[in-house]
Structure 1
Amino acid sequence: MSINSNFDSFQSLLSVDGNINAIIIGLITVGLITIITIMAYSFENILRGNNSTVKRLIFEIIEGVVLAISMVLVQHIFKALNSGDMSSWFYATTQLTILLYSLYTMQNRIIEVMNIIAPVYIFGYRVVTGYNSYLLLFTASIVMLALTVIYIYRHTDLILSSQWRFIILQIMYGALWWAIIWPFHKFTPYYTINMVVGFVAYMYMIRYLAKWIRDSFKNYNNLSEKVNYDELTGIRNRASFDQVSKEVFKVYKNEPDVPLTIAMFDIDHFKKFNDTYGHMAGDKVLRHVATHFEHQLFHKTTRGQLFRYGGEEFIIIFRGLRADESSTVISEIRQELIQDPLDYNGQELNINVSFGVTELKDSDVSFRDLFKRVDRYLYESKDSGRNRITVENKTISFERS
């Protein structure tokens, strides 16, 4: 009786250890999934503002490296928890979940390729050297898995929006992987079905976790836009400018060899648009000017950042450009604004702007010194007759420049 009792206690202890291991792996998987999700959405937000091909490639490589590290980390943790035994279905399910989840979340061709070549890398050598009789099954499974991965990559949004498509694709993906693994572990059909069902259930839990993270990001981005972006024009607002101006001053004040230029402008005789055509026309003028400058800044230089300071006043921060270089960009954009009048109820509204431009100097103790100077230059342009630009205390008419 005592021996049986001790044996039962021993089995109970093993069961507890197994449950603890499962909990540890589950928590680690959730942590990795969270890191992957945050990274994917952070990169997406960065690329939304500047979709550079080189930057996208760098981000895709980083995501591929993170996925590879995650797979290796899970492998080593399983080895440590299971004394080197890697035949657990939970281990395979965890690896598959991370691979497939990354494919859904990252929308990255490197991840797509990793999903296709992973089984070849893991099992290909073993099939060729010791399991020739399974070569046909292995090859067919790899081809079908590749087609499934390509379909998921190209139709991610459609799959995620359709419950039955999502379930079918998870079953196909899991079943094909188990078909690849089967020659090395000879699972029974019943056990294989249980593993596929477990994989689908695991993916469902991860999907809901990802949805929660994605919704949190969306809510954060919406809040960020409300706080940092002007509702009327869609560009960055005064609060954003106050924050950015402090940051750039700290950076560029300590880098005297790298220039920082600030330009301030407003719309000439803006009040006349409101008085003559109504406030809706004034709003359209503001949106037209903001959209024009933002688009043209993006096309001409990646170093200019536009803000609506208030009313009809706007500010551009040029990082790494001198005052004369910034003035050249400004003059070109202003000329294109003149050539693109606003059409309002069948009437062409010609819009002129006045500018002040100055560069950060060694004598500037704070950003306030720089701002006061550019504000003074703007008013010099306006006092001199408007439709002018004042650069470092030298006022030039746009018509003569």
Structure 2
Amino acid sequence: MGNLMEILRICFSANALVTGIVTIGLVTIITYISFILERKVSTASSFFKKVGINIAEMLLLLLMLLLVTIVFKSLTGGSQVELGGLLANAELTILFYGLFIFNNRLIILLNVFLPFLYHPSSDISRIQGPYAWLFIVSYLILIIVIDYLYSHKEVLAISNYRYLSSQMLFGICWWIFIWIDYRFPLVDIIGMLILFEFYMFVVRIIELKMSTYMHAYNDLENKVNYDALTGVRNRANLNKVSKEFFEKYSQSSVPLTVMMFDIDRFKEFNDHYGHEIGDEVLRHVSHTVERELHVDGSQGQLFRYGGEEFVILLKNVDTKRAQEIVNRINQTLIEMPLFIQGTQLDVTLCFGVTMLRKTDESFDEIFKRVDEYLYQSKNNGRDEMTIEGKIFQYEKVPMIKI
């Protein structure tokens, strides 16, 4: 009975309450910042960008651990055992959550080597003593848990059972290390382990709630900035990005090329085959163009301006290279036609192409110019491009394999 009361006292003390509030607050901050950082990383991101984000995440985790330590220095009530145990619980909660929330190998390495780094774990006697076998077994289990956390994040995100099992094993292994080093009374160890599980239970609820809100935010952002039919950026996003690009490149030596294209005789597809087939044509064209914009690292941005009209922004690309991209888009449409119900639909495009000029006072001037060039291509017979007022026929180019 006395042991049970001691466990309850540890779990429901004022210090435990303060610890829980601080830890949960820090976890909330970590979740929000991780969401921001992870969104900046994609499969197309450069190696140095990924390394920079990983270092930022590592520094964030270390900062959170430092803040927990600072808070504990202000807690003067309670025994040294209690305060030390609460601090360890807070740190373990942040470490485990960092493993789960970040896809970061630096944090993995930190967790792998930490059992040998904290004081007095570096004392070799722990491995030579009577509990060496217990330390080794616990460490091996911890490594398995860490590896599982890193390689099964998607499973853990939807499986409460596996998530809770992983955190329980993580906490047990660490409290075995702490017991070997400090010989805390067993009742205190049990109390702290229960408290750790409670912290992680609350953290799990917060993580699930925040994930729901953040996915809802992503969905809303996609609806605002992306075209629902084709999946490419929409006109509203073009208005925003074009202003940003103009401000950035109007006084820069880096070239900015703007292209506008139209699907030739699109109305005939709708009238002859129906609007559903017309939608398939729009999707086929947008997906083909999107692929060709990234196949050679051009990183162009495609926008659906309205109807069958699209706009492309190409930074650090001049009109000569833009012409090569247009030729490649045309050739891909020829070699990879759209088939609907066994019928081949030959889709052609006409383009207008222009570059940002030093005399342009706004993006509207660029847009009016490229729109004129597009209609020049249309009026000349379609299935061609007009670059800075000069009409060009499409040429065959070597296909780039990916």
| Deviation per residue, 1:317-375 (Å, 9 max, x gap) | 00111122222112112211121110011011111100001111111111101110000
- 1:290 matched to which residue of 2? 286
How far apart are the structure 2 equivalents of 1:192 and 1:86?
10
Q: Is 2:67 aligned against 1:65?
A: no
Does the 8 Å CA contact 1:303/1:321 hold for their aligned counterparts? no
What are the equivalent positions in structure 2 for 1:225-264 lying under 5 Å apart?
A: 225-255=222-252, 257-264=253-260
Compare 119-128 and 356-365 and name the one that shifted more: 119-128
Query: In the alignment, which of 57, 72, 75 is matched to residue 78 of structure 1?
Result: 72
What is the TM-score when the length of structure 1 is the normalising length?
Answer: 0.88
**Quick one: distance in 1 between partners of 2:180 and 2:103?**
31
Which residue among 26, 37, 47 is the counterpart of 1:32? Answer: 26
Deviates more, 1:217-226 or 1:130-139: 130-139
> Runs of 5+ in structure 1 lacking a partner?
1-14
In the other structure, the counterpart of 2:87 is 91
1:210 Cα deviation (Å)? Answer: 1.3
How many angstroms does 1:34 deviate by?
2.4
Asked if 2 retains the 8 angstrom alpha-carbon contact of 1:360 and 1:370, the reply is yes
Following superposition of structure 1 onto structure 2, how do residues 63-142 of structure 1 map, counting pairs within 5 Å?
63-82=57-76, 87-123=83-119, 125-128=121-124, 132-133=128-129, 134-142=131-139
The amino acid that maps onto 1:92 is A
Q: Say whether 1:161 aligns with 2:155.
A: no
1:312 aligns with 2:326: no
- Aligned residue for 2:169? 172
Which of 356, 379, 392 aligns to 2:388? It is 392
TM-score, scaled to structure 2: 0.88
The residue aligned with 1:215 is 212
> 1:75 offset after TM fit, Å?
2.1
Aligned to 1:151: 148
| 1:185-243 superposed Cα distances (whole Å, 9 cap, x missing partner) | 32222221111111011001111111121111101100111111111111111111111
Q: CA deviation at 1:168?
A: 2.4
1:311 deviation in Å?
A: 0.4
| Alignment correspondent of 2:195 | 198
Deviations 1:106-128 (A, max 9, x none): 13222222222112111465431
8 Å contact 1:267–1:353 — kept in the other structure?
Answer: yes
Structure 1 28/249 Cα, relative in aligned 2: closer, same or farther at 3 Å?
farther
Shift of 1:56: 3.1
Cα pair 2:20 2:199 within 8 Å, conserved: no
Sort the Cα spacing of 1:49 and 1:38 in 2 relative to 1 into closer, same or farther, 3 A: farther
Residue number in structure 2 paired with 1:267: 263
How many angstroms does 1:145 deviate by?
Answer: 1.1
With over 3 angstroms needed to count, the CA separation of the structure-2 counterparts of 1:96 and 1:355, relative to structure 1, is same
More helix by share: 1
Q: Residue 320 of structure 2 is aligned with which of 318, 324, 327?
A: 324
Q: CA deviation at 1:94?
A: 0.5
What is the aligned partner in structure 2 of residue 8 from structure 1?
none
User: Aligned in 2, Cα 1:19/1:251: closer, same or farther, shift over 3 Å?
Assistant: farther
Letter in 1 for 2:242: S
Q: Determine the C-alpha separation between the residues in 2 that align with 1:249 and 1:295.
A: 25
Task: Find the counterpart in structure 1 of residue 3 from structure 2.
Answer: none
Give, in whole Å, the separation in 2 of the partners of 1:206 and 1:29. Answer: 9
Q: Aligned equivalents of 2:15 and 2:240: distance in 1?
A: 47
After superposition, the C-alpha distances for 1:233-279 in whole angstroms (9 at most, x for unaligned) are: 11111111111111111111232x11111100000111111112111
Q: Which amino acid aligns with 2:49?
A: K
- Structure with higher RCO (Cα < 8 A, 6+ apart): 2
Q: Secondary structure at the match of 1:300?
A: coil
Distance change in 2, residues 1:341/1:289 (3 Å): same
Distance 1:345 1:80 in 2: 73
Deviation at 1:314, TM superposition (A): 0.4
**Stretch deviating more after TM superposition (317-326 or 258-267):** 317-326
* Distance change in 2, residues 1:85/1:72 (3 Å): farther
Farther off after superposition, 48-57 or 98-107? 48-57
Structure 1 CA distance, aligned partners of 2:183 and 2:120?
17
Deviation at 1:48, TM superposition (A): 4.3
Does 2:359 match 1:359?
no
Distance in 2 (alpha carbons) for counterparts of 1:102 and 1:39: 12
Cα drift, residue 155 of structure 1: 2.3
For residues 158 and 400 of structure 1, the distance between their equivalents in structure 2, rounded to whole angstroms, comes to 47
Hey, what does 1:5 align to over in structure 2? Answer: none
Taking the aligned partners of 1:252 and 1:49, their CA distance within structure 2 comes to: 26
Identity of aligned residues (%): 38
Distance in 2 between the 1:20 and 1:324 partners?
70
8 Å CA contact retained: 1:78, 1:86: no
Tell me, what secondary structure is at the counterpart of 2:224? helix
